[in-house]
Structure 1
């Protein structure tokens, strides 16, 4: 079973993040939040790319043996 198949925990940080009201935030705070989230997206994409490469290398190694 993949981790993607598992239900999210109720105290998951992402769930809490998307439930936060945006109305109290100023335009500047919203801009800062967008910048932080975009940086986090890039970090996650880089990690996914690295994990995919490592998985492919491991699969290739075990196919040879």
Structure 2
């Protein structure tokens, strides 16, 4: 597999920024509902990732906190 390093990697959050600037006048009511459902699913995914990271951090702190 060849990886092309000539193309820069997109910045974190760049796609979210583009999404926020998209013209919503072009969407029907049903398409807006679908968009909201997708965004809510993404929010749930991010919250789950945050919880997992927090749990790993707490476990690491408990493991390496011998003196307290």
* Pair in the same fold by TM > 0.5: yes
Distance 1:52 1:10, change over 3 A: closer
Aligned to 2:64: 62
Residues 1-65 of structure 1 aligned to structure 2 (within 5 Å): 9=11, 12-64=14-66
TM-score, structure 2 as length reference = 0.74
Q: Which runs of 5+ in 1 are unaligned?
A: 1-8
Give the secondary-structure state (helix, strand or coil) at the position aligned to 2:24. Answer: coil
Do the aligned partners of residues 10 and 19 (structure 1) sit closer, same or farther apart at CA in structure 2, a change above 3 Å counting?
farther
The count of residues paired between Structure 1 and Structure 2 equals 57
Q: Which runs of no fewer than 5 residues in structure 2 stay unpaired?
A: 1-10
| TM-score normalised according to structure 1 size | 0.77
Larger Rg: 2
In the TM superposition, structure 1's runs of 4+ consecutive aligned residues that sit over 6 Å from their partners are none
The one-character-per-residue Cα deviations of 1:11-45 (angstroms, maximum 9, x if unpaired) are 71111111111010000100000000001111111
